[in-house]
Amino acid sequence: MKSHQVEQSISIYARDTWQVPDSDISFWLGRQYKWCVVIPVINEGNRIKRLLKRMQTHRISAIADIIIADGGSDDGSLEHGALQEAGVRALITKTGPGKLGAQLRCAYAFALDQGYGGVVTIDGNDKDDPEAIPEFITALEDGFDFVQASRFINGGVEENTPVFRYLSIRFFHAPLLSLASGFDWTDTTQGFRGYSRRLLEDPGIALFRDVFQGYELLAYLSYRAPRLGCRCVELPTSRKYPQDEIPTKIGGVRGNLSVLAVLVSACMGRYNPF
């Protein structure tokens, strides 16, 4: 299979300044393509299995390398043989502190070190339709730096979104980020996104910092990238919550309020690099 060469532009000095949590590379089958798909998971059970099955149906592994960023699952859902049969090229397990932001920093540093030209990230809880991944890659190839999924623009689909989550996105989260960033965002809390290598390496963004432990990174990039002149775009996607459960790590009023607190901090520039 053809191997795509990507020029690595990380200086030794810049790489040495990155703050990346400790992690183990459980397996790595090597880079095949210019792009990779990063899937953050922790104890997703059958949800990650269903997502990988859908990705097989859409032949995602024929256009991008699939990398799983595990936060420390202990539910037996990440058996190596099964993952490789499903087309997964790498399993990275975070062993250092932190939650989602720490997982993503582990995976993004790995992707840049391996020479990928950009990444697409999709949550491992099977709420998003991976059929849209080729469109994300096309947008990155066309020169966009930040590609955001949206269930709320023309062509998008949303089902069973929890009421508090829906209201907070539509009437607070997206409007505030739009005002602060200068870009008209409609769907700002979900992690189905694409980032160019240029954005991930940008010193004005300085993604690899320990301040990004939980959900800070998602709000920060939506605020910071447009302000630095990065090319941003939203693509219509489908995001469906099952009727019998809410597969999310953000639980209850306290969890949702913490997300809003992170949003305010991001829009006030508190995560900006000095």
- Residue 190, domain member (yes or no): yes
Least confidently predicted of 105-109, 128-132, 144-148, 244-248? 244-248
Give the length of the chain: 274
Give counts: helices (H), strands (E), the chain: 10, 10
pLDDT, position 131: 98
Q: Where is 112: in which H helix or E strand?
A: helix 100-113
Strands 88-94 and 23-28, how do they pair?
antiparallel
Mean model confidence pLDDT for the chain? 93
- Tell me the pTM: 0.92
- Residue 82, domain member (yes or no): yes
> Which structural domain range is residue 75 located in?
15-267
Number of domains composing the chain: 1
- Residue 6, domain member (yes or no): no
**Tokens describing residue 101:** 């932001």
- Please state the rounded mean pLDDT for residues 85-89: 98
Give yes or no for a contact between 223 and 262, defined as CB atoms under 8 angstroms apart: no
The pLDDT tens digits of the residues spanning 117-156 come to 999 999 999 999 999 999 999 999 999 999 999 999 999 9
- Residue 54, domain member (yes or no): yes
Residue 13 has pLDDT above 80, yes or no: no
- Residue 83, domain member (yes or no): yes
- Residue 252, domain member (yes or no): yes
Give the CATH number of the domain where residue 33 resides: 3.90.550.10
- Please state the rounded mean pLDDT for residues 264-270: 97
Q: What are phi and psi of 159, to 5 degrees?
A: -140, 135
- Residue 3, domain member (yes or no): no
- Please state the rounded mean pLDDT for residues 19-45: 97
pLDDT, position 164: 85
pLDDT, position 2: 40
By C-alpha distance, which of 163, 165, 117, 161 is closest to 138?
117
Region of 43 on the Ramachandran plot (φ > 0 left; ψ -120 to 50 alpha; else beta): left
Say what angle helices 216-227 and 174-181 make with each other, to 10 degrees.
40
Residue 78 has pLDDT above 70, yes or no: yes
- Residue 10, domain member (yes or no): no
pLDDT, position 3: 42
pLDDT band at residue 230, thresholds of 50, 70 and 90? very high
pLDDT, position 243: 80
pLDDT, position 257: 76
pLDDT, position 260: 87
The pLDDT tens digits of the residues spanning 155-192 come to 999 999 998 889 989 999 999 999 999 999 999 999 99
Local structure of 16: helix, strand or coil: helix
Residue 110 has pLDDT above 50, yes or no: yes
Q: Which long-range contacts (CB under 8 A, 24 or more apart) does 17-21 make?
A: 17/208, 18/109, 18/208, 19/105, 19/208, 19/209, 19/210, 20/105, 20/106, 20/109, 20/208, 21/94, 21/95, 21/96, 21/97, 21/98, 21/102, 21/105, 21/106
pLDDT, position 252: 56
Q: Which residues lie below 8 Å from residue 154, measured CB to CB, with a gap of 6+?
A: 236
Q: What are phi and psi of 253, to 5 degrees?
A: -65, -40
